[in-house]
Amino acid sequence: MKWITASLATLTIIILIGSSPSITLSQDKSPTWEVYFSPNGGCTEAIIRKLSKAKTSVLIQAYLFSSEPIAKALLDTHKEVIEVEVILDKSQKTEKYSAEDFFANSGVPTKIDSAHNIAHNKIIIIDDETVITGSFNFTKSAEEKNAENLLMIRDKKLAETQ
């Protein structure tokens, strides 16, 4: 069995790989954390659940974005008159029908980050309160084939540092 130790501010998280697909850590009236691992660890479902609870805004920056379930949840959120903005890596522009085209054609404000060699971020900020990040790309392969992680942090102070 493998152990991973990650440090967040003053909290140390120790996770036993292979134990549980997700672990929720919290402290009284403090930020909360949810940790997910793929393959097949529920990362996509966790993102969809959080998007469905958005009330005011969703900001996304993604290196790769081809997950149909996450895209559909994002569009459903946008239809609820919730502010949604997407920033994608310039590699997403080279596809015949890219995520950029998809979101722009759906009325979601979308930008390409061409200022950097690679815009490798994978982050979602919901309602200036929840930050979703990790190695998890928003793709089917990330959910079903790759070894990836997803961290959901409910912390207003962290989310406001965008």
Q: List residues with catalytic annotation.
A: 120, 122, 127
Are the C-beta atoms of 149 and 121 separated by less than 8 Å? no
> What strands, in cross-sheet order, belong to the sheet with 57-62?
22-26, 32-38, 148-154, 130-133, 122-126, 57-62, 83-89, 110-113
Task: Tell how strand 32-38 and strand 122-126 pair up.
Answer: unpaired
Q: Torsion angle of alpha carbons 144, 149, 153, 159, nearest 10°?
A: -90
